[in-house]
Amino acid sequence: MTSLNIPLRRIILALTKLAVLIAFACAGCKHSSVSPPPSVAETVDPWKEAVSKVEQDRGEAVGRNATVEVPEQLKHYVDRRRFLAVQTADLQWHVDAMSVDFVDLVPLIQRRELVEMKPLGADYILFGVGYSTSGEPFAHYDPATRQDIPLAATEEGAMEEVQRALDAVKESTARLAYLESERRRAPKRERARRATLLSQVGQARKALASAKAKSKLLAAFSADPKRRKSLVAEYQLLSELARDFEGETYDLNDADARRRLKIRLLSFIRPEARDVLTQIAQNYKARFDRPLPVSSLVRPVQYQQELAGTNANAARGPTPPHSAGLAFDLYYRYMSAAEQEYLMSVVAHLKDEGRVEALREARDNIHVYVFGNGQRPDEKLIARVIASEKSRIPGKKQRAGSRREGIGRKRAR
């Protein structure tokens, strides 16, 4: 037993010494230069936290699936034309400059007629604002033809765009000729192949027609010295902003940077509309402890027409309310019935006060338009707009020379 106890005592002694060393080492850790791991609160991304609150499972039906009582103030009028007519009348009376394309937003921002809504505010979050836009190069928008005219850094660059358009016509012509030849040569028994080729021929014809129209329009712009210079001036105006947009720089030659710049430009709104939006957001946040999701702010006519291709709610007229920066959309897709009804009651109260026009749209949004001078336009003006809509001949095109007809006011420059 004695021979076994000696090694055992040595082992115990060694373990005791090791424990003492570890204790001293841990004590020294308190004075180490290595920073402790950040707390959970410090690692939380405020944006992601806000998104999670918006999308949080309510444990009940939400959005369009929820059973809600829509107040009369947020329903369509019996004459559905009246909804847009009220907003158009206000635009024609109080707004001096509409945004036809993205470049139009620049002077409005510089003059502080539009103010920026940060992606995340104290009571709101921009939820998908501008996410449908692309990284395509910025372009001048011609409402008469609904065509985009590429901007150019120089007049020579504008002429190069014309040549590229001519080359596109040649390519489209050659492709159409090839497909038509293939369709004629395809045996009748190969019905599936003939049907595919027939569809491709139809698409090629549309592409050729579009390429020809674009080429003709570009040639007209480039042939006019005044228009040609305006394309260069617009590019320079945008370039100056992109070089230093309140500390941020955007490379106009990079698609991702162009898209980020477009999204930021779409995050602006008129100050009077901003004030109403933040008031609604404060009420909603105080009631439900969630940020109010805002899905749309200013939208130039150019972007509005792009949206109209996929969004049935997007206004298609020459003076869409969002183009003035006085309208915004609130996103109710994740809201419970109680949240929606409360939000609608707040907006309905503002409409009763004559401060806004509003509509609960079927596609998850509540559209709110803020009147320019804080009160509903005169009924005579509204009636005049409705009468002009009735007298408009369907399908009638505007004269090519009146590039901005129908916009109501001068272009922002």
Residue 21 structural domain: 2-43
CB 317 within 8 A of CB 113: no
* Amino acid 397: pLDDT: 43
**Distance (Å, whole) CA 384 – CA 89:** 8
* Same-domain check for residues 174 and 321: no
| 115 bridge partner residues | 269
* Same-domain check for residues 318 and 413: yes
Amino acid at 307: L
User: Is 385 a domain residue?
Assistant: yes
* DSSP category for residue 395: T
pTM of the model: 0.78
CB 334 within 8 A of CB 297: no
**Distance (Å, whole) CA 252 – CA 139:** 12
**Distance (Å, whole) CA 331 – CA 364:** 6
Q: Which of 221, 254, 287 is the last residue of a domain?
A: 254
* Same-domain check for residues 309 and 350: yes
Q: Which of 254, 275, 296 is the last residue of a domain?
A: 254
* Amino acid 34: pLDDT: 42
* Amino acid 392: pLDDT: 61
pLDDT tens series, the chain, 413 aa: 444 444 545 544 554 554 444 443 444 443 333 444 444 444 568 999 999 999 999 999 999 999 999 999 999 999 999 999 999 999 988 777 789 999 999 999 999 999 999 999 999 999 999 999 999 999 999 988 888 999 999 999 888 999 999 999 999 999 999 999 999 999 989 999 999 999 999 999 999 999 999 999 999 888 899 999 999 999 999 999 999 999 999 999 999 999 999 999 999 999 999 999 999 999 999 999 999 999 999 999 999 887 765 554 444 455 689 999 999 999 999 999 999 999 999 999 999 999 999 999 998 999 999 998 889 999 999 999 999 877 664 544 443 333 333 343 344 43
CB 108 within 8 A of CB 98: no
CB 403 within 8 A of CB 143: yes
* Same-domain check for residues 153 and 16: no
Give the closest residue to 323 by CA, choosing from 248, 245, 412, 389: 412
User: Is 261 a domain residue?
Assistant: no
* Same-domain check for residues 148 and 249: yes
Query: Parallel, antiparallel, or unpaired for β 327-331 and 365-370?
Result: antiparallel
User: Is 30 a domain residue?
Assistant: yes
* Amino acid 97: pLDDT: 74
* Same-domain check for residues 58 and 207: no
* Amino acid 151: pLDDT: 94
Contacts (Cβ under 8 Å, ≥6 apart) of 247? none
* Amino acid 145: pLDDT: 87
CA 336 from chain centre, in angstroms, equals 25
* Same-domain check for residues 240 and 285: no
* Same-domain check for residues 15 and 76: no
User: Is 172 a domain residue?
Assistant: yes
User: Is 393 a domain residue?
Assistant: yes
pLDDT tens sequence across 196-251:
999 999 999 999 999 999 999 999 888 899 999 999 999 999 999 999 999 999 99
* Same-domain check for residues 118 and 188: no
* Same-domain check for residues 97 and 188: no
Please provide the DSSP assignment of 8-31 as one string.
HHHHHHHHHHHHHHHHHHHHHHTT
Structure tokens at 113: 């007629």
Domain count, the chain: 3
* Same-domain check for residues 109 and 10: no
Q: Which of 188, 219, 254 is the last residue of a domain?
A: 254
User: Is 259 a domain residue?
Assistant: no
User: Is 359 a domain residue?
Assistant: yes
* Same-domain check for residues 80 and 206: no
pLDDT tens sequence across 80-112:
999 999 999 999 887 777 899 999 999 999 999
User: Is 320 a domain residue?
Assistant: yes
**Distance (Å, whole) CA 389 – CA 209:** 30
CB 306 within 8 A of CB 132: yes
Return the half-sphere exposure (C-beta side, CA atoms, 13 A cut-off) of residue 358. 29
| 368 bridge partner residues | 328, 358
Per DSSP (E only), the strands in 191-334 are: 268-269, 292-296, 327-331
